[in-house]
Amino acid sequence: RGCSRSTRVLFHEYSIKAAILIQRWYRRYVARLEMRRRYTWNIFQSIEYAGEQDQLQLSSFFSFMLDNFTHMNGNGPDLISHLLDSVVDPLTEEVRQLKYEQIVVPESYCGPRLSFPLSVTDTNALLSAFKEEQTLHGKYVLQLLYETKKFLKQMPNIIYLSTSYAKEITICGDLHGRLDDLLLIFYKNGLPSAENPYIFNGDFVDRGKKSTEIIIILFAFLLLYPDHMHLNRGNHEDHIMNLRYGFTREVMQKYKTHGREMLQLLQDVFSLLPLATVIDNKVLIVHGGISDKIDLDFLSTVERHKVKSALRLPKRSVDHLNVHANVRSSSRQSGRTSRASRRRKKHITKQGSCSSSSSSSSSSSSVCSPRVSSRNTSRRPPPSPSLPSPTDVLQVPFLDSFVSLEPPEPPRDELERQQVVDILWSDPKNQSGCSPNSFRGGGCYFGPDVTQALLQKHGLCLLIRSHECKQEGYELCHNGQVITIFSASNYYEEGSNRGAYVKLGPELVPRFFQYQVSRSTRKLTLHQRVCVAEGSALRALKEKLYGHRSDLMAAFQQYDIDNTGRISTSEWTQVVESVLRLDLPWRTLRPRLARLGADGNVEYESCFEDISPGEPIPPVTPNLAETLYRYRTDLEIIFNIIDKDHSGQISIEEFRQTWKLFSSHLGVAVNDQTIDDMARSIDFNKDGSIDFNEFLEAFRVVHKLDVKEQQQG
């Protein structure tokens, strides 16, 4: 009996020790998974924001060229003016309406047929058709956009709502072309109606494949329930953003006959969307955020329809830019003269800088803040001169000294545009103050003090915004005064994040509802979901590394004096960050990107082993091919601008124009002979036209692991 008691005690002790060991192992296992999940998230977000910044820089280049050059390499700005400047519609409202009504719908068309004004039957027909993968005929899309434009013209910049007329109001964030998310929201929360009002807070389009279906549904419910369905503008309701992120291509592919006219109508519709919504005079809802310059009274007077694109910089004349250039030039000349005279007098004094600078931490945002690497070759310099900020103080030479002059008050249209940019592009930060949003390249970072000041000024208690993907679909910050709501689940990758919406009742206490559209992720374990997302993020990151291979190798070799092929881990992380500037935990990521040698140093060329180029066109040199890998999206955007009918085919002369724009934007020297050789080599059927999509396909990188899996499959 005594022996059995001691055995039980011993067994109990072993059980406790085993449980403790298992618990420790599990906690470490979960911690490692969480670490991988977080750096995967950081990779996705950093690459997303870097892409937005590239788009802003490209738009800045286009705007500057259009405003300040009459000719560029023999080609006028007409190449892009039809895109950047709004089209003047020569037709009257009555004629346009009649034109749409006369479009013939063939009897073979089996989709929904709309009649205006819309009824509940029409919206139900649309939902059923889109669930069955049907496409709405172009006639009805044009009529819908036309009616939406007429309605939005009557709307103010800021919509004021009251919960006293409804039990609760539902606020949804970014959808980004994810129709399944919208349908799931309607399934869980009910369709829009007088008893179930909705606010959709911008970014309906781009990235996803069902953007046209989403705007058709939202605009239909807007016309059906104008007092109970509300749409705020997002930064992707912008025709220039749509070029990079897929909406333009989607419209032209689905509506080849009427697509171009739809895009022109959408420019007007997007620019007429309200900028903000206020509930019960207490809750402000905007897409991006605020800045220390935002004033709701001023915002309500902005002529929002003039801001077709927040990326389109306000026009500045050449004379205006030349004035500043001459000031800087004369300052430098004056400096040289005064220094020479002082040397003759052997009297040395300190001289102030003559360049304009901003000493204010308060930020009026600017689109296209250049993201320049510490190495000149790692990032391209901004292609156009920086426009002076309203907070700049000009240092003007006067005799042997400098006189500080206050800059003139910015014109009204520039102040209006700055307000729109801040509303659409800004993000909150934990630190106090307001500073340029250098990570995205546009808008501001605003701190809790900026939030508190705006809420107090206008008697508000809460700011709801979207614009940022959150892993749980929502997030609170600034002591609960700012809510971020994001409604596109699986935004980066299957299982990467949940979507959410928030409901507000008369007490204005937010209630959050989460969901995740999932077909395959439900069957996966947590470990498998993390692995899938991590693999996708690492593939994207390796493509970034490969696109900057020359810059990285040059920087690696500066540390590798003995040409061993190895450098220390700290040197490797320093080089990668200085070239890519993605602000990632490179030391943590190193085992996934590069291997260590026997001496514990990083074999830096192993960064590029998992990726190989496709089969580039023979006349393209390796350096030019790498440039194409890196800036492939920019080149595609330029091509889409020139390809006015979006046919995918351009002439050899248009191909040359594309390259001239591309080389001007990047400062890449490509001679005419190289361009002609490339054009001839990809004109496969020798008909004088080029399939540009096939050309771009040659400059996709290939992941060797994916190739092996395909071969095994």
Active-site residue set: 236
Instruction: Report the distance separating Cα 552 and Cα 378, nearest Å.
Output: 8
Residue 596 DSSP class: B
Measured over all CA atoms, what is the biggest interatomic distance in the chain, rounded to whole angstroms? 110
135 CB-contact burial (10 Å; exposed 0-12 / middle 13-18 / buried 19+): middle
Q: To the nearest 5 percent, what fractions of the chain are helix, strand and coil? A: 50, 10, 40
- Which amino acid belongs to residue 507? E
Partners of 482 in beta bridges: 463, 477
Q: What span, in angstroms and rounded, lies between the C-alpha atoms of 230 and 621?
A: 53
DSSP state of 608: G
Residue holding tokens 């030349």?
322
3-state SS, one letter per residue, for 159-184: EEECHHHCCCEEEECECCCCHHHHHH
Q: Which backbone phi and psi does 98 adopt, to 5 degrees?
A: -65, -40
| Residue 515 CB contacts under 8 Å (≥ 6 apart), including other chains | 181, 184, 185, 188, 473, 489, 498, 499, 500
Residues 6+ positions from 90 with CB-CB distance below 8 Å: none
Phi/psi of residue 685, nearest 5 degrees = -95, 5
CA atoms of 654 and 670, how far apart (whole Å):
16
What are the tokens at 77? Answer: 């700005």
| DSSP-derived 3-state class of residue 576 | helix
For residue 182, count other CB atoms closer than 10 A to its CB. Answer: 25
Euclidean distance between CA atoms 99 and 24, whole angstroms? 72
SS3 of 462, please? strand
Strand partners, 405: 394
Q: Which residue has the tokens 């072309």?
A: 177
Nearest CA to 111 among 91, 142, 133?
133
Q: At 283, is the secondary structure helix, strand, or coil?
A: strand
21: left (phi over 0), alpha (psi -120 to 50) or beta: alpha
Is 367 in contact with 438 (CB distance < 8 Å)?
no
- Do 203 and 174 meet the contact criterion of CB atoms below 8 Å apart? yes
Q: Which two tokens stand for residue 475?
A: 């997030």
3-state secondary structure 478-526: CCCCEEEEECCCCCCCCCCCCEEEEEECCCCCCEEEEECCCCCHHHCCH
The Cα–Cα gap between 282 and 508 comes to: 8
In eight-state DSSP terms, residue 27 is H
- Over 405-454, what HEC string results? ECCCCCCHHHHHHHHHHHHHHCEECCCCCEEECCCCCCCEEECHHHHHHH
